[in-house]
Amino acid sequence: MSEQQHENTPVTVIGLGSMGSARAPDSRPPAPPPPGGNPPPARPAPLRARGATVAATPAAAVAAGRLVVTCLTTFDATREALDPATAELRGRTLVTLNSGAPDQARETAEWAAGHGARFLAGAVLDVPSAVGAPGTLLTYGGDRAAFDDAVPALRALGGETVHLGDEPDLAALYEMAVGATLLPALVGFFQGAAALQARGRTAASMVGFTGRLLDMTKELLPVFADEIDRGDYGAGESSVNLFLAGTAHDAALEAETGVDTAWLAPLHDLVRRAAEAGHGEDSIAALTEVLRKPTERPYPSTSPTS
């Protein structure tokens, strides 16, 4: 599909939330109302002004586009929204952009195949308001040929569009793997802010210092990744024992400032278990070995993506 063909090819977007609405003006898709009701009148109005057609039903919307992009909350919500339109899916490409676990992505891929549709499960590694921006990163897993056909249209969602592999659960897997960093980092910042306020200082006063720490962490990620991939943790500068010694400081901070540090207890336990397993002098990346659990793989392993 050429860029010119993309401009003249209708694309259906299911979902008129912040992400779907951000997508719609760029590709001029038919945008159906959510299941069980009509969209608020104010929401489709600006889309119509940009050339979009608002379909009366999901079936009508799906029938109008060869590429169907869903911007809903979960895989369950996506299948529920498309249930009235399954007869129209045959021969089309379905692209999902929602959160969910890898097994839910695989289930939806089987559901789509059962209705004769090619399938790509995507993930937006940014906030919804960033959709359409040149630096926004979106990843996809699923049918490579379907991706190659759809990529000119998908690039309207963001400047970085990456196909991770033919397995339909890869975008969900990477979204959860990468996203695991977010909440601990944010809670750490919030704890620090509360501690500073207990001393009459502002959260804003720590932003620059926290940014420097995050920059340092970013620089260390390739080093840690190499240690983990090689299974060799002997050359690390930041040892497990160093972090273990620091656990007592958190208790002292709580006693002085009244800030609740209970959320750190499982992390402290993880560090202690790593030391007890013989990793005390190893790099802190050795915590990966403690996190592993012997499980039967539910899906075939794949080659690593750099």
CA 202 to chain centre: 31
Give φ, ψ of 266 to 5 degrees: -65, -35
Q: Can you tell me whether residue 186 is helix, strand or coil? A: helix
Report the candidate in 147, 126, 148 with the shortest Cα–Cα distance to residue 19: 126
The reported pTM is: 0.82
- Give all domains of the chain, ordered by start, each with its CATH number: 3-177 (3.40.50.720), 181-291 (1.10.1040.10)
pLDDT tens figures, 74-118: 999 999 999 999 999 999 999 999 999 999 999 999 999 999 999
Cα 47 to Cα 29: distance, rounded to the nearest angstrom: 9
- Cβ burial, residue 206 (10 Å; 0-12/13-18/19+): middle
pLDDT < 70 regions, the chain: 1-9, 16-52, 236, 295-306
Are 21 and 49 in contact, with CB atoms under 8 Å apart?
no
